[in-house]
């Protein structure tokens, strides 16, 4: 059985294609292109939440729904190959995670319905013509907008009030997104008394070079912006933050569970549950272009108390009271 003949979730049955790449009569086909690898802590959450949510909506993996699940490991070239293979098997719909997966799919098909999740600024990035009327073959859900930079910098300042410098890490290869975050950092940073700069990074080595150079001057902190690079290389960012004793704020809770200091973030479970509802509606005949792009409405603050103690930080009572989750 080839890797692309995918394992349909945790402990699930193997979903095999019918001859010629088509599904048996009455069975629909869902492609899933995840930007993370299967070892990333969010991957099993995404897979199991999607499987459970679709089951509640009447879609049973391996029965009336064939599933082709691909893990991209943050590698755009690998994801292009996976997408070509997936589309050759004629899915009825594809779920794409993040800007990398969505970009690959947009370039590969103008007809197959695509539901995206966990990305930012889909209009500016050219994925849809408008949020209310996407019109094409893509729609979905955003998790953050650029103004969330203010929340991450404020959280950084609350965690260590002496911070006057911030280094924000992100993959620089998506110009519209890079411009959006750069502009917002330049706007909100001075209001908070923080000189905030972006470092474009692609891998562990570039992350280490950027953080070590930044740490040569005092009163700094890190922000890991939402991106496949910062998600996949979260452990390296966490390690460097500890080495240089830098407070760091993350866009995803997974990094806080891995030992990062704090996050202001959405719920991955909620993101996937909403995507499942769109998948259901499209499979039942709703035109993809008529479904508006929706933004996240609930956010949570997560703090790792052990990491805070190791950095010598005292978490104020106001921030403790606001935190949705405290990790010991």
How do residues 244-284 score in pLDDT, each as one tens digit? 999 999 999 999 999 999 999 999 999 999 999 999 999 99
Query: According to DSSP H, which parts of the chain are helical?
Result: 42-56, 76-88, 98-108, 148-159, 175-191, 204-214, 228-232, 234-243, 253-257, 268-283, 305-310, 317-322
Tell me what the mean pLDDT of segment 108-126 comes to.
96
Question: From CA 242, how far away is CA 260, in angstroms rounded?
Answer: 9
Tell me what the mean pLDDT of segment 138-160 comes to.
96
Of the candidates 92, 93, 89, 98, which has an alpha carbon nearest to the alpha carbon of residue 117?
A: 98
Question: From CA 233, how far away is CA 203, in angstroms rounded?
Answer: 7
- Residue 90 pLDDT > 80, yes or no? yes
For residues 103 and 128, is the Cβ–Cβ distance under 8 A? no
pLDDT for 297 equals: 87
Tell me what the mean pLDDT of segment 84-106 comes to.
97
pLDDT for 19 equals: 33
What φ, ψ does residue 59 adopt, rounded to 5°? Answer: -110, 115
pLDDT for 209 equals: 98
Percent of the chain with pLDDT over 90: 91
Question: From CA 257, how far away is CA 254, in angstroms rounded?
Answer: 5
Residues of each domain in the chain carrying CATH 3.40.50.2300: 19-143+268-295, 148-265+299-327
- 8: CB partners within 8 A, 6+ apart: 14, 15, 51, 61, 62, 67, 69
- Residue 75 pLDDT > 60, yes or no? yes
289: left (phi over 0), alpha (psi -120 to 50) or beta: alpha
User: For the domain 148-265+299-327, what is the CATH superfamily, name and number?
Assistant: Response regulator (3.40.50.2300)
What φ, ψ does residue 297 adopt, rounded to 5°? Answer: -115, -15
Tell me what the mean pLDDT of segment 316-327 comes to.
95
- Residue 183 pLDDT > 60, yes or no? yes
CATH match of 19-143+268-295 with 3.50.50.60: no
CA 129 remoteness from chain centre: 22
What pTM does this model have? Answer: 0.90
Tell me what the mean pLDDT of segment 1-28 comes to.
46
pLDDT for 266 equals: 95
Q: Mean pLDDT score of the chain, rounded to an integer?
A: 92
- Cβ neighbour number for residue 39 with a 10 Å cutoff: 10
pLDDT for 7 equals: 38
- Model confidence over 29-66: pLDDT tens digits? 999 999 999 999 999 999 999 999 999 999 999 999 99
- Residue 192 pLDDT > 60, yes or no? yes
pLDDT for 26 equals: 78
- Residue 205 pLDDT > 70, yes or no? yes
- Residue 15 pLDDT > 90, yes or no? no
- Residue 18 pLDDT > 70, yes or no? no
């Amino acid at each position: 059985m080839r890797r692309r003949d995918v394992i349909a979730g945790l402990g699930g049955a193997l979903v095999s294609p019918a001859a010629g790449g088509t599904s048996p009569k009455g069975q629909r086909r869902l492609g899933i292109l995840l930007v993370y690898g299967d070892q990333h802590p969010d991957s099993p959450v995404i897979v199991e939440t999607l499987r459970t949510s679709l089951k509640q909506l009447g879609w049973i993996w391996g029965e009336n729904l064939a599933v082709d699940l691909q893990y991209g490991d943050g590698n755009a070239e690998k994801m292009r190959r996976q997408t070509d293979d997936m589309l050759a098997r004629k899915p009825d719909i594809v779920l794409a995670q993040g800007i990398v997966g969505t970009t690959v799919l947009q370039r590969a098909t103008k007809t197959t319905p695509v539901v995206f999740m966990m990305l930012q600024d889909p209009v500016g990035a050219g994925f849809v013509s408008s949020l209310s009327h996407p019109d094409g073959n893509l729609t979905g859900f955003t998790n953050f907008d650029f103004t969330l930079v203010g929340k991450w910098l404020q959280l950084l300042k609350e965690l260590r009030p002496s911070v006057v410098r911030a280094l924000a890490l992100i993959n620089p290869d998506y110009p519209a997104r890079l411009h959006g975050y750069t502009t917002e950092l330049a706007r909100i940073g001075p209001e908070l008394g923080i000189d905030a700069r972006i470092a474009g990074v692609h891998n562990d080595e570039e992350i280490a070079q950027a953080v070590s150079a930044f740490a040569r001057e005092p009163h700094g902190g890190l922000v890991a912006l939402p991106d496949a690079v910062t998600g996949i290389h979260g452990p390296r960012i966490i390690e460097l933050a500890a080495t240089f004793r830098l407070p760091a704020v993350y866009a995803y809770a997974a990094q806080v569970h891995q030992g990062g200091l704090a996050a202001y973030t959405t719920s991955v479970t909620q993101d996937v549950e909403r995507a499942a509802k769109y998948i259901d509606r499209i499979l039942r005949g709703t035109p993809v272009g008529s479904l508006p792009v929706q933004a996240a409405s609930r956010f949570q603050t997560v703090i790792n108390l052990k990491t805070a103690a190791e950095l010598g930080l005292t978490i104020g009572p106001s921030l403790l009271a606001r935190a949705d989750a405290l990790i010991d």
